[in-house]
Amino acid sequence: MSEQSEQASQSRSIDELERLVQHFVAAKRSLSSTALVARAHDVVTTARHLVEESAVLSAKNAFLRQGVLEEANVLVAVRDGLDSIGRETDVDFKAVIHQLDLADNRLQATLAQLLNTQVDTSELHSRGATADKQKTLHDFIDENTHLNLIESLRGTIDSHKAAEADFQHSQDSFDDQIRLVDAAVDDADQATENRDDLSPVPPLFQALTTHATEMASLLSSLVAHYDLCTSALKHTEGGGEAARQANPSSAYDAPEDSLYKNLPLGPMNEQERQEMLAVVDNDAQEVEDVVLEIGERLSEMEQTLEQMQSLSQAVRLRHKLLNRVLDQLSTLGGNLPMFIAAAKLYGNSWNTLKETLLAKAEELASLTDFYDSFITSYDSLLEEVDRRHAVESRMQRIADKARREIEALYKEDVAMREDFVRGTGEFLPRDIWPGLVDTPRRWEIRAVSPEIQHESLRNSGEQ
């Protein structure tokens, strides 16, 4: 071989060694991605704990949510049942009030008739009393009777209103607690956008494992490339010394000290070495892209982990809020007997008050019937006055006729007595009959008691 050819060969060997050292240094540097892969392993481990925790909490949340719904449905049913008591009582109360209104309207109409019916006061004057005003039938009734009855009715109605207010206060408290439970359930539902049985955490974890697997595979290719660079240096004259000079930080370590430092060095001919160098040159062009891809995948994993942590935090928050709903349901359940007792008390109170109101309504109707009978009796009294006046007139006519007939008989008897005395008086001694010259007995027909002023009573009654 000529000197010129030898120089050219040495120059190619130097260029080849420098290029191989550069590939080795780059491969060595790329192995820093091991830390990224280790971080990916930590991310997957952390994510696995999140998946397990989310799965457990999601199952608990689904169970709690179903239990909350069932309890809420029971509470709504109880609330509707209690509310039906109020509605039925209200309908019943309005029916009784309508009955009372009819009875009161009838009473007021009767009272108005009593006020509009004037009576004769001449009898008062005849007995020496002084009438301050024209009297009506209303003046002859005890007004306190119906006023006290109406006032008693108002008191009973007020008692019902007070009981209704207490019942409504209990119902409002029940509603407030139900609204608090509903609001707490809404807060729990809004804590996570997804439903408990459709959690996105498992798919995200699957994406993480895919990234971690790919990163491990990429790291394996980098290690293989580094190992290939190491092997190439081993089979290249001056490779070890060149690696030390190019990588001073590893001066105490042989360039072949790697994960594969125990790899046995086998024989290799020049053709095989050239093929190996070609592979090294080809792979070296992809090292930077592989390192960049490992970093990008880790970045995506970090973002995915943050998303999983956020979702897991939401699941934990939902679990906490659902437990708070259970606490509120427990409180509401403890108060439930009080709400039921209030409804029963209201119903029992109304049943008692209803009997009282119906009894007073009957009493009101009876009082109205009594006043109506009073008016009817007064009308009958007017007819009785007319009848008595007619009888008295007939008696007066008979008495007048009798007085005239008696007077005529008296005069006729006087004349006949005088004629008798004149015809026989000189023949009969006076003491033969003491009543011989007596006048006839006088008869008088007169009323035993004073006459009543019937006409004025009739006139005033018709006003």
pLDDT, tens only, 407-453 = 999 999 999 988 888 888 777 777 788 887 888 888 888 888 755 54
Q: What is the pLDDT of residue 394?
A: 93
* Cross-strand partners of 223: none
- Distance of alpha carbon 397 from alpha carbon 389, whole angstroms: 12
- Distance of alpha carbon 142 from alpha carbon 106, whole angstroms: 18
- Distance of alpha carbon 233 from alpha carbon 242, whole angstroms: 9
- Joined together, the tokens standing for residue 149 give 């009855």
Residue 272 · residue 250 · CB < 8 Å: no
Q: Which residues of the chain have pLDDT under 50?
A: 1, 5, 8-9, 124-129, 250-264, 453-463
SS3 assignment for 163-224: HHHHHHHHHHHHHHHHHHHHHHHHHHHHHCCCCCCCCCHHHHHHHHHHHHHHHHHHHHHHHH
Flag whether 405 is in a domain.
no
Flag whether 200 is in a domain.
yes
- Distance of alpha carbon 70 from alpha carbon 58, whole angstroms: 18
- Distance of alpha carbon 21 from alpha carbon 247, whole angstroms: 9
pTM, entire model: 0.62
- Distance of alpha carbon 357 from alpha carbon 93, whole angstroms: 10
- Distance of alpha carbon 228 from alpha carbon 221, whole angstroms: 10
Contacts of 147 (CB under 8 A, 6+ apart): none
- Joined together, the tokens standing for residue 350 give 């109304």
Flag whether 448 is in a domain.
no
* Ordered DSSP codes for 351-367: HHHHHHHHHHHHHHHHH
* Cross-strand partners of 136: 118
HSE at residue 228, side-chain half, CA atoms within 13 A, is: 23
Nearest residue to 393 via CA among 438, 313, 452 = 452
Residue type at 179 in one-letter notation: R
- Distance of alpha carbon 117 from alpha carbon 375, whole angstroms: 8
* Cross-strand partners of 428: none
Residue 383: CB atoms within 10 A of its CB come to: 12
Q: What's the domain range around 230?
A: 1-119+137-358
Flag whether 437 is in a domain.
no
Flag whether 131 is in a domain.
no
- Distance of alpha carbon 206 from alpha carbon 51, whole angstroms: 10
Flag whether 424 is in a domain.
no
- Joined together, the tokens standing for residue 291 give 């390192």
- Burial of residue 165, with CB atoms counted within 10 A of its CB: 0-12 exposed, 13-18 middle, 19 or more buried: exposed
Q: What is the pLDDT of residue 254?
A: 41
Helix (H, G, I), strand (E, B) or coil at 396: helix
Residue 365: CB atoms within 10 A of its CB come to: 17
Cα 371 off chain centre by = 49
- Joined together, the tokens standing for residue 338 give 């009080």
Contacts of 393 (CB under 8 A, 6+ apart): none
Flag whether 390 is in a domain.
no
Flag whether 383 is in a domain.
no
Rounding to the nearest 10 degrees, give the CA dihedral for residues 103, 105, 111, 113.
-120
What is the domain count for the chain?
1
